[in-house]
Amino acid sequence: MAQGEQAGDVTGDGAGTHRLVEVPGGRIHLVEQGSGPLVLLVHGFPESWYSWRRQLPALAAAGYRAVAIDVRGYGRSSRPGAVEAYRMLAHVGDNVGVVRALGEEKAVVVGHDWGAPIAANSALLRPDVFTAVGLMSVPYSPRGGMRPTEGFAKLGGDEEFYIGYFQRPGRAEAEIEPDVRGWLAGAYASLSGDTMAPEGSPSPFFVARGARMSERFVDGPLPGWLSEAEFDVFAQEFERTGLTGGLNRYRNVDRDWEDLAAWDGAPVRQPSLFIGGQRDSSTTWMRDAIAAFPTTLPGLAGSHLLEDCGHWVQQERAEDVNRLLTEWLANL
């Protein structure tokens, strides 16, 4: 076995291989399963490669080389200290580096949550490498005319939109670090279709002045799709690494806006797929982005909103996502 590889049953459903690969920006930890055309899976916040544990065996069984990465700042991937090291261009570079390190020239890229814009921008900036793109929970929205932090400031009114709350280094960490497990459990439950607060409840995405984001999290059991043992995998990683790497992605939205000025309004033309949850705030806030798909994603094969599903779509509705994903891949 090559250096940097470790085989084992990493998904609970079959054999997988952990690897550390070198990319220009450092190292990326990944888990791969199967052989065939490469499908690169990119997670969001606050997650890890493990968010794709139910997709790895399904994609492998369908004849693909499925690879789920820990995005820089997470897990065993590099965690640079500088905030600006987490700008979008760096994440796109990591994705290209992973494809090359795996000995491949091209890949389909699929992302969830923050992984969705990372996947979309990977396809936008490097269409020579990423031949198709799947987006989950967060629809593609091209770079626009307003600086992002200015737009987020207008959303909150007397309260702060959570992305604004995350901007100052150390602020969210001071809330999260004393009880990483409790914060994660509340975040997962608050955004899950089966455990989120009733409609009309104060939104956890808005923070009252002087308050903490977690004060509006639901207080109850873990979602039905997340066992205690599975939750331990997430919690133990974040207890070890902290969440600064993930939070630094949010702290680069204005840098991304500056870096991507040449792609203002640009569509992603490759074959694409969108899957979201009907109960996910991302699909309601960004309904205009979904409506604009004929212009922004001219290669769109399907846009699916899953009933009674929240934000963690590939974990909440694994069978539906696996079916939609493999059917789309088969028709590329």
Residue 5 has pLDDT above 70, yes or no: no
pLDDT higher than threshold 50 for residue 7: no
Does residue 273 register a pLDDT over 60? yes
Q: Between the CA of residue 9 and those of 14, 65, 74, 204, what are the distances in Å?
A: 6, 16, 21, 36
The mean pLDDT value for 216-245 works out to: 97
pLDDT band at residue 12 under the 50/70/90 scheme: very low
**Which tens digit of pLDDT belongs to each residue from 159-206?**
999 999 999 999 999 999 999 999 999 999 999 999 999 988 999 999
The pLDDT assigned to 10 comes to 47
Tokens of 166: 């995350």
For the stretch 84-133, pLDDT in tens is: 999 999 999 999 999 999 999 999 999 999 999 999 999 999 999 999 99
pLDDT at position 158 is: 86
What's this model's pTM, rounded to 2 decimal places?
Answer: 0.96
Q: How confident is the model at residue 157 (pLDDT cuts 50, 70, 90)?
A: confident
Asked if 203 and 153 touch (Cβ cutoff 8 Å), the reply is no
Which DSSP string do the residues of 30-68 spell out, in sequence order?
A: EEEE--SSEEEEE--TT--GGGGTTTHHHHHHTT-EEEE
Count of all residues that appear for the chain in the document: 332
What pLDDT is stored for residue 235 in this prediction?
A: 98
CB atoms within 10 A of CB 288: 9
In this model, does residue 1 exceed pLDDT 60?
Answer: no
Do 273 and 324 meet the contact criterion of CB atoms below 8 Å apart? yes
What is the domain range of residue 230? 5-330
Specify the pLDDT at position 3. 37
Q: How many domains does the chain have?
A: 1
pLDDT category of residue 15 using cuts at 50, 70 and 90: low
* pLDDT (average), residues 36-55: 98
CATH code of 244's domain:
3.40.50.1820
Backbone angles phi, psi at 193, to 5 degrees: -60, -30
Q: Pick the more confident residue, 209 or 19.
A: 19
Between 14 and 48, where is the model more confident? Answer: 48
Residue 104: how many other CB atoms lie within 10 Å: 15
Tens digit of each residue's pLDDT (9 = 90 or more) over 130-156: 999 999 999 999 999 899 999 988 887
Q: Supply the DSSP symbol for 306.
A: E
Model pLDDT, residue 6: 52
Residue 220 has pLDDT above 50, yes or no: yes
- Closest by alpha carbon to 20, among 82, 97, 87, 129? 97
User: pLDDT tens across 275-320, in order?
Assistant: 999 999 999 999 999 999 999 999 999 999 999 999 999 999 999 9
For residue 9, pLDDT beyond 70:
no
Say what the pLDDT of residue 92 is: 98
Q: Strand order of the sheet with strand 300-306?
A: 5-8, 16-23, 26-33, 65-69, 38-42, 107-112, 130-136, 272-277, 300-306
Q: Looking at the annotation, which residues are catalytic? A: 113, 311
